[in-house]
């Protein structure tokens, strides 16, 4: 198991995010948890995460249960700068959870994606809803 930290940009109200944190712990790690709805985002932080993921702002834009549509962020005319500015003003617009480990940075939706970022993996894991997942070996 690595000594490098595992960082989770987490929303405790989100079942997927809670499952990811629990999966990381089941694998033997204690993640650094950043509750981004409380801390907010900086432009540098978002740009660095996006660069690490090889992604664009639209790739991590959360549409469901957010004001994304009302803010005009879903149309083709919403450029990266507009989306990033909106994400900084309203952190709920960033989809979650985003996980960072020495193996990479990913938006972990579905939650099983987190196993790609961990050296150590549990034999199986039972999600909050009762679904049992078996990580790849």
pTM, rounded to two decimals: 0.94
Catalytic residues: 14
How far apart, in whole angstroms, are the C-alpha atoms of residue 67 and residue 56? 19
Q: Domains of the chain: which residue ranges?
A: 7-60+94-133
Q: Does domain 7-60+94-133 have CATH number 3.40.50.150?
A: no
How far apart, in whole angstroms, are the C-alpha atoms of residue 52 and residue 18? 23
Q: What is the largest CA-CA distance in the chain?
A: 46
How far apart, in whole angstroms, are the C-alpha atoms of residue 30 and residue 23? 10
Q: How confident is the model at residue 3 (pLDDT cuts 50, 70, 90)?
A: low
Could you give the percent of the chain with pLDDT greater than 70? Answer: 98
**Residues 22, 118 contacting (CB under 8 angstroms):** no
3-state secondary structure 77-124: CCCHHHHHHHHHHCHHHECCCEEEECCEEEECCCHHHHHHHCCCCCCC
What's the pLDDT score for residue 2? 45
Using one digit for the tens of pLDDT, what is the confidence trace for 32-88? 999 999 999 999 999 999 999 999 999 999 999 999 999 999 999 999 999 999 999
């Amino acid at each position: 198991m690595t000594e490098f930290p595992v960082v989770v940009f987490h929303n405790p109200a989100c079942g997927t995010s809670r499952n990811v944190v629990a999966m990381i712990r089941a694998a033997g790690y204690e993640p650094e948890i950043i509750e981004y709805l409380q801390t907010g985002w900086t432009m540098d932080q978002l740009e660095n995460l996006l660069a690490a993921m090889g992604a664009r702002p639209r790739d991590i834009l959360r549409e469901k249960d957010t004001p994304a549509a009302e803010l005009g962020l879903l149309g083709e005319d919403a450029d990266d700068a507009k989306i990033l500015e909106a994400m900084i003003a309203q952190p709920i617009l960033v989809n979650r959870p985003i996980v960072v480990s020495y193996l990479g940075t990913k938006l972990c939706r579905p939650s099983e994606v987190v196993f790609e970022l961990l050296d150590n993996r549990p034999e199986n894991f039972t999600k909050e809803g009762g679904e049992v997942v078996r990580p790849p070996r």
